[in-house]
Each structure stands twice: as structure tokens, then as C-alpha cells.
Amino acid sequence: MRTLRNLALFLISLIGYQNLQACGGWEDYDTYFRLFNPGYMLPDNQFGPITYSDEPWSNINSWFTFEAQHEDNITCWKKHFPVSFSSKSIQDFIYTIEVEQLEAAREGHGNSSNQVLNWVKKNDPETLTYLLFARSCENHCNIEPYYYWEEKEEKDVPSMNQLIETGTKQYKQCTNAFLKQRYGFQLVKLMRYAGQYDQCLNFWKQELQTSKNKNLIWYWTLDHIAGVQLLLGNQTEGWKNFITVFQNCPSKRYSSYYSIKIDSDEAWNNLYNACETTGQKETMHFIRGSHLGSIALSDVKAIYELNPKSAYLPALISREINKMESILLQNDPDDNAYYQLYYNQNVINEEIMTYAEDFRQFLSQAITDTKINKPDFWKISAAYLSFLTQKPDNSYALLGTLSNNLSAGFTNQISILKNVLLLTNKNKNALARQNELKEIWNVEVKDFAYFFFQHPSNKLPFPLASGKRMYNLRTQLDTKSLEALVDLTENHTQLTWFANYMLEDHFLPKANSQEQAYNLDYLNEMLGTSYLADEETEKAIEAFSRLSESFKAQNEDFYLDYNPFNSVMNDRDRSSLNAKPYSKLKFAKTLHTIEQVVDAGNPTAMDLFLLGNAFYNSTYFGFAWDAKAYYHSGSYYTGVFDCYMARSYYTEAAQVAEDREMQAKCYYMAAKANQNLYYTDKVSGKEYYWIQPDNQDSIAAKGNRAEFEILQNNYQGTEFYNDLIEECKYFDFYIN
């Protein structure tokens, strides 16, 4: 019992346990590897909504659909009519046609495109009378949701009571058993929402409860009766009736499931003792075992003792296994209990491992007892738990006892299990396992395989074991990784099958070794771009020069939209630029040539200005940011965003220039770079849209308006100065 209590505490802390409450907060979760697939193990399972998932409420909500209720009701109406109508015609007749049209039809007026209405008007006026009554009830019983700021619409109880009186008369006069039962349903619903609880229960007991025709409408009515009993404080009877609804009426499972809120041992025992059938007791354990935060093994065992062939057992077992793997197979190595035990012999969660072993032993004993239904389900489940508890010999032994005629779902689940058993097989070395996976590979295990093989003992070459993928490199270039990827692609025949698979799946655009030439071009283009970002222009030239002509002709990333050596006054206004493709190779070569001139020691102002443009425009702020990056975020700085070199070259150009117009232009460009330095220094890696902008005085006080001061003091009267006042609101604000 102590282990169970500890496990309960652990699960409560993990998923925000609400102790069998029908309403509550969201179930927190961590991303994990889901290798036990309930879709394979429980095909067409009527209790599928309780299977454990990252978003449990969305699962249960699949029981709560008006469409499902409509479909069941339409089926009943189809059987009622002596002639055949389409489901669409019946649906429109019951739910869509306006009340005015129904009233006109009752009076013998009007024509309709609806076949059901036309037939009923001539042959079944009693149905029209009922449907008009039902529509009147909807106005009072179909409660519209409202927001907290809206005024809640008060019930019109006098009108509801009048409608109850009218409906009671029509109920007594009705001779059609189908319609009479529906009148009863509408009256129970009206009495409930009018607050006439005693009248509602008396009407149910006297008129409806003992009906031999326990069909859809009878259970819909019982659903309301159970709600009334709860409102009157008779929890045991109300819950028992909700259990009956849950057992027999799929379209009302949502309301019945969440209406059973057992919060004490006393309430549980009272209800359990009141149950009249084994099936009701099974349902109690099923509902408790499937609630958020539950520890279901005790309920699974209880259901097994009541009925080893219960349809509830596979659903609960599947849910519980998914819960266990959600804890044991988390996607962080430090939190993954399986990973830590396998590689480090470190038991980081003894409670859940003990619970998993207890569950495995229960399944094994049930298999031995041979009382169960669908033994293959139990054997596959036990084999998977043997994998989770790192008893692979047990897994293989169980798989060897399966029948020959397995469903497609079972076959898929077995394939997944065999894959994970092979990739975790300690009797084979890592390289052998990586090669043997080819023969049985199931793509559904690839994420777990990537995660599991990241451990150094598996000898995956860098960067395959880094956890990165191509989108990571496209978002943030990494020269070391790209250099390694080029080398791996050139020598891919020396890799294991799994390493090749990982290389192609994670990093190469063409997942086919025959496309090696394209893949190398793709990687070399990225590598050249990364060298540009690292200011390694010679290496960038080498990488770009290796690209094939066919690749350069079709790859858009290789070309910039504008010449990066040009300049603009406003970074967002590119109207002055000539939109003409400019290759990264040309950019690298031109940049390298100018850098050589500067390094030689006698650069002109234009040389320095062009370098300033190249360095500025290829930052996050410039129109050629894609010369050194592939991703441009709107919420944080990406790629190259340090404008220090650009400012330095602009300042040096201004000092070398002899022409005052050129000097003014250089200082202004330096001012743009300096302003960007203020913001990048201020943010320091944070998402910049959360940073409150400082006022202009603060920017100036920190020295990031130094060039504005130079322009104001020394360049008034120049043509550029006058244009600047018109074009740059920052400068206009500064001087005024």
C-alpha cells in the first residue's frame, strides 16, 4: 500500500489530479514517446475516448457531439415511418425546418421541398403536433451558454408550466406509442428545467419507468431523471441511473461519465452496495479507473474478478500503459526513466517502475489463468510492459505464443515492439543493431530510435547524435555541424544503415543516396552561407565554388534580391534599389577583394563605405540579411545582428572621405548601425517585443546618438543633411 500511495502522490504532482471530479483544471503533461498505440490495440473501441493522451479532454469530448445524438435519433425516426426517407430529409424535418413552416403544414397550407413534411402533412398530423410541441420545449430547455459579463437570461417558469400542462394533455391523448414516449421525454425535460423536481420524478415513476421499450429515448429520459435525483440530494440513485445510461446509451456517455463525482469512500460504498448487477459494478470501476489522476490497477483487478471477459478491461489496460510510458519514456534523457536505467543503471523513479512491474505480473497471471477474452491483446500488452521494465526475454517469450491470425492493428503493434526490442538489445553491439534494423524497420519508432541512439555508446558520428535536425541548422547556422554533414554525405557508404537513414531523414532534402550530388550542393550552399556569417570569406568562396551549375540555376537561396553593396536611407524602403539576383558567390568574391584592399593599408573612402554596406545589409536589419541566414523572426533577433563592424567601417570611411556630402552620408549610416547596437545590447538575446522602448533622450545618453550630434554640429547646409531631416524621423526628432 505504501508503494501505491507514493505512486499516487507522484501522479498527482505530474498531472494535476482532481480526485474523481468531473470538472477541473487541465492535465499537465510532458512530451513523451508513445509506442503503445491504442488505435492498433483497440480498433473500433466504443470506450476509445478514455484512452490516455496529451489532451485528454479532447478525447472525452468525442462522446459529446450533437451529431452523434442526431444520428441515433434519426435512425429511430427512420424506423418509425412506414415509408423510406433519406437521413437528410428526416434531419431537416426534425431539426431545421422553421416553426412557421410546420404550423402552416398543420393548417394544410404551403408547399415544402422536404419529402417528410409533405408526407406527414397528408398522412400523419399527430407527428406534426408533437414536433411543434418539441420545438416549443427547446426554447426553454436548450440552455445557451453565456459569458460572465453577460446577463443570464431568466427562466420563464409560468410559460414552462403552461407548456407542461399542454404537453400532459397531448401525452394522454396520444395513441402512437413512439410519439407518446417522446412526449414523456419532453415533459421530463421541461419539469426538470422548470424546477418541478417532485412532479418530474412522480411522472417518471407512474408513466415511463416501467416501460418495456427501453430504447434511445427511454435512456435519454433516464439521463434527465438521474440529474433531478442529484439535485434532490439522492446521489446514490442518481449515480446508479447515470451508470445505466453510460452502459446502454453511447450518445449520452459524456454527461453520465462526468456526472458521477464520487469523492468519498462512503459515497463509493453506498453506490456499490446499491448496484443490482455485476455490469453496474464493472462500470463503477471503469469510470473511477479512467478519471484523471487515477491509479487504475486496483480497478482493473476488481473488474477482472467480477468479469474476466469485460469489455472495459482492454480500454483501461491500454490507458494505464500509455500513462506509464508517458512517465517512463519522456523525451529528455535526464527525465527518461527507461534511458537512465538502461545506460546508467540509475533508477530515477522507483515508484513507477514498481507499479509497471506489478501491472506486468497481473497481466501475466491473467494470461496463465486463461479466463480472459482476446488473449493476444493481453500477451502483446504484457510483452510491451516487459519492454518498459527491461525484461526483453519475457517480451520475446510472449510474442512467441501469439496466434497465427492476428489483426492488422496487432501486427503493427508487434512490429513496433520488435523494433524497440532490437534497438535496445544488449546482447548485440551498437553497430550490429543499427544495421539489423533495416530488415524490420517501422517508421513509427524513428523518434524513439533517434533519441535512444544519441547516447555516446552507440557511436553515431557527429552531428547525428546531437539532437539537431535540418530545421535547427536552417534557423541557426552551425559551421561545425555543416562541415561534418558534408563529410558524412561524401562518405555515406561507410555509415551503418541507421546512421544513413538518420542522415537522410534529418538533414538531407533528397532522401535517396542516388541524389548525393544534389544533397552535397545543398549542404555546401548552407556551409558557404555559414562561412559568410563567420566572416570566413575565403572558405565561403571555396564552398560556393563547389556548387554545380544545375543547382545554382534552380536554387533560390543562392541568390540575394539586391546588390548588398548598395545603401538605403530607410531600411524598409527599397524602392531605390534595383531588384536583380545577386549570387552569394559574387558577394563573397567582391567582399574578399575589397577586404584585401583594406588589409593592404590604403583604402579609399568608397572601399570602406562599400564594406560598411556589405556588413550592415547582411545583418538582421538589412535588406540582404539572407546572405548570412535563412530565418528571419519577427519577435527576436536572428542570423547576424551585430552592427559593430558596419559602424566601424562607416566611421573610418567618413574620416577618410574628402567630400562633405560623402562624410555626412557615412556618418548617417554609422548612426543607423549605432542605433541598432543600442537595441541589440539592450535585448541581449531576449525576445525584443517584450522590451519596452526607451525614449530618445535615453538612447542619446548612452552614446548611441554620437553620429547625430556630429551631423548636427558639422554638416548643416549640406544637401544630404536637408534630405535627412525630411527622410529620417529619428534625426528630425533629435535636432528639434
Q: How far apart (Å, rounded) are the C-alpha atoms in residues 510 and 98?
A: 58
459: alpha, beta or left? (left if phi > 0; alpha if psi -120 to 50):
left
The closest alpha carbon to 262, from 284, 234, 286, 280, belongs to: 284
- Confidence class of residue 49 from pLDDT cuts 50, 70 and 90? confident
What long-range pairs does 298-303 form, CB within 8 A, spacing at least 24? 298/4, 300/362, 301/362
Mean pLDDT of 401-422: 97
Tell me: pLDDT of 6 over 70: no
Contact (Cβ atoms closer than 8 angstroms) between residue 676 and residue 668: no
Q: How far apart are CA 403 and CA 406, in angstroms?
A: 7
pLDDT tens, residue by residue, 316-341: 999 999 999 999 999 999 999 999 99
Query: Which residues touch 511 (CB under 8 Å, ≥6 apart)?
Result: 504, 505
How much is the average pLDDT of 176-196?
Answer: 96
pLDDT tens digit string along 212-235? 899 999 999 999 999 999 999 999
Q: Which pLDDT score is estimated for 691? A: 53
In tens, the pLDDT along 95-107 reads 999 999 999 999 8
The pLDDT, as a whole number, for residue 254 is 85
- For residue 503, give the nearest of 464, 446, 549 by alpha carbon: 464
The C-alpha atoms of residue 550 and residue 182 are separated, in whole angstroms, by 74
* Spatial separation of the C-alpha atoms in residues 691 and 35, rounded to whole Å: 42
Q: What is the pLDDT of residue 76?
A: 94
Return the pLDDT at 149: 61
The band of 65, judged by pLDDT with boundaries at 50, 70 and 90, is low
**Is 522's pLDDT higher than 50?**
yes
pLDDT at 312: 95
In this prediction, residue 52 has a pLDDT band, given cuts at 50, 70 and 90, of confident
The answer, yes or no, to whether residue 686 has pLDDT greater than 70, is: no
What would the pLDDT profile of 475-520 be if each residue is shown by its tens digit?
Answer: 999 999 999 999 999 999 999 999 999 999 999 987 665 678 899 9
Mean pLDDT lowest for which of 143-147, 366-370, 424-428? 143-147
What DSSP string describes 97-117? S-HHHHHHHHTT----S-HHH
Q: pLDDT value at position 68? A: 67
Residue 633: exposed, middle, or buried by beta-carbon count in 10 A (0-12, 13-18, 19+)?
middle
Classified as helix, coil or strand, 559 is: strand
In this predicted structure, what is the pLDDT of residue 146?
A: 54
Q: What is the pLDDT of residue 53?
A: 65
Higher pLDDT, 462 or 8: 462
* Candidate from 53-62, 166-175, 603-612 with smallest mean pLDDT: 53-62
What's the DSSP call for residue 690? G
In the chain, the amino acid numbered 295 is I
Q: How far is 391 from 98, CA to CA, in rounded Å?
A: 65
Q: Residue 37: which residues within 8 A CB-CB, separation 6 or more?
A: 409, 412, 413, 416, 444
pLDDT digits (tens, 9 = 90+) for 642-660: 999 999 999 999 999 999 9
Q: How far is CA 309 from CA 48, 286, 301, 355, 375, in A?
A: 17, 14, 12, 23, 10
pLDDT of residue 732: 87
Q: Give percent of the chain above pLDDT 90.
A: 76
Mean pLDDT, the chain, integer: 89
Q: Is the pLDDT of residue 169 over 90?
A: yes
Separation between Cα atoms, residue 416 and residue 271, nearest integer Å: 42
Q: What is the pLDDT of residues 531-556, one digit of tens each?
A: 999 999 999 999 999 999 999 999 99
| Residue 305 pLDDT class (50, 70, 90 cuts) | very high
Burial (CB count within 10 angstroms: exposed 0-12, middle 13-18, buried 19+), residue 389: buried
Supply φ then ψ for residue 559, to 5 degrees: -120, 140
Q: Which residues contact 552 (CB under 8 A, 6 or more apart)?
A: 558, 583
Residue type, 63: W
**Residue 82 pLDDT greater than 60, yes or no:** yes
Residue 414 is placed in which grid cell? 508487434
**Cα(631)–Cα(477) distance, integer angstroms:** 10
What's residue 150's pLDDT?
58
- 692-721 pLDDT, tens digit per residue, is 556 677 788 888 899 999 999 999 999 999
pLDDT of residue 18: 31
Phi, psi of 560 (to 5 degrees): -95, 155
Please state the rounded mean pLDDT for residues 353-381. 97
C-alpha cell at 375: 488473449
CB-based contact 414:48 (threshold 8 Å): no
pLDDT score of 11 more than 70? no
Reported as type and span, the H/E element at residue 374 is none
Categorize the per-residue pLDDT at 70 as very low, low, confident or very high, splitting at 50, 70 and 90: confident
pLDDT at 66 over 90: no
Closest of 535, 562, 558 to residue 624, by C-alpha: 562
Measured between alpha carbons, how far is 486 from 466 in angstroms, rounded to an integer?
A: 16
Distance between CA 295 and CA 11 in Å, rounded? 8
Beta bridge partners of 583: 559
Residue 155 has pLDDT above 80, yes or no: yes
- Residue scoring higher pLDDT (524 or 148): 524
Residue 698 confidence (pLDDT): 78
**pLDDT value at position 151?**
63
Q: Are 496 and 435 in contact (CB under 8 A)?
A: yes
pTM for this structure?
0.82
Q: Report H helices in 62-156.
A: 66-80, 87-91, 99-106, 115-123, 125-141
- Separation CA 202–CA 166 (nearest Å): 18
Q: What secondary structure letter does DSSP report for 152?
A: P
Which residues contact residue 33 at a Cβ distance below 8 angstroms, ignoring those fewer than 6 apart?
Answer: 325, 329, 330, 331, 447, 448, 451
CA 514 from chain centre, in angstroms, equals: 35
CA distance 707 to 663: 11
pLDDT reported for residue 112: 85
Residue 32 three-state SS: strand
Q: Given a cut of 90, is residue 685 above it in pLDDT?
A: no
